[in-house]
Amino acid sequence: MSRNKTYLIVQAALWALAAAWMAATAIRMYVEGAAIQASGELFYYIYTREKVGEALRPMLPLIFGAVGMTVAGWILGVKDERADKPVQDAELVRNLTVARVQNPGEAMLKARDAQQKLHWGGWIAFALCMVPVAVYVFNGAHFDRPRETEADLFALLKVFVPWTALGIAALAVTGVMRERRFARETEAARAQLAEEKAAGVAPGTGTVTLPAVAQDSGRGMWIFRGAVLILAVILIVAGVRNGGLEDVLTKANAICMECVGLG
């Protein structure tokens, strides 16, 4: 591992640790403040300048270290040696290589079949992970109170966060495994090209029909966007059913009539 790469990894780790620390501190302050409000102190302010400053004080060495490494790296010109090189797209390389093969061999067909199974297996796993979320959200018993409480919110998050994370992890794992199958098919295609060349068979011109999984490369992103849209709709429906719409409208009226002064 080069010196520059090590420097960049340490810098990224410092920023990631600082971000995680800040997020954990903000959540802790909210939980503690919400508990105090629930005990009867309705006008207790969870986030104030003094409280935030006190919470940030222990993080300052870490933040200053991350900022210092970033500035020093910029001054010294530390950067990734591969930053200016084109990204190696395993699927694109596979497509260009396969398009030159006249007669796909058994190894290519086997890798192609595995790619299709991984593609649909990942999305089926994601859909199955979303079933518990949908069951919870569309169960009216969870949202039959006029106002949501912190307990309701945390109960929803306990279902939504782990299952969504598990579904995304399934997509990520199957995506990595598909890339490995792309590499295997590329190797098999190159071996097939060598055999065809030795047999005097002219290579393809790049217009040969690509496998179905290659033609479907752009569809996966649209499916992912559709899944995110469905999740957004589910959460909006949950918010409307538990009175969140009325809360937002009340706060908007208060801002317009009291703060801005339209009233």
Reported as a pLDDT band with limits 50, 70 and 90, residue 207 is: very low
Shared domain for 47 and 108, answered yes or no, is no
Q: Is 212's pLDDT higher than 50? A: no
Specify if 84 maps to a domain: no
Specify if 85 maps to a domain: no
Rounded to 5°, the CA angle 209-213-218 comes to 100
Specify if 227 maps to a domain: yes
Shared domain for 31 and 132, answered yes or no, is no
- How far from 196 is each of 78, 99, 170, 204, 229, CA to CA, in Å? 46, 14, 38, 11, 47
Shared domain for 16 and 106, answered yes or no, is no
The per-residue pLDDT for range 88-130, each reduced to its tens digit, is 778 888 888 888 887 788 888 899 899 999 999 999 999 999 8
Q: pTM for the complete prediction?
A: 0.55
Domain of 29? Answer: 3-76
* Cα dihedral 16, 20, 22, 23 sign: positive
Instruction: Single out the residue in 76, 102, 120 at which a domain terminates.
Output: 76
* Token pair belonging to 117: 């199974």
Specify if 26 maps to a domain: yes
In single-letter form, the type of residue at position 209 comes to T
Q: CA 155 to CA 242: how far, in whole Å?
A: 13
The pLDDT, as a whole number, for residue 90 is 82
Q: CA 170 to CA 164: how far, in whole Å?
A: 10
Specify whether the CB–CB gap between 227 and 233 falls below 8 A.
no
* Cα dihedral 162, 165, 169, 175 sign: positive
Residue at token pair 């299952």: 163
Shared domain for 60 and 136, answered yes or no, is no
The total of structural domains in the chain comes to 2
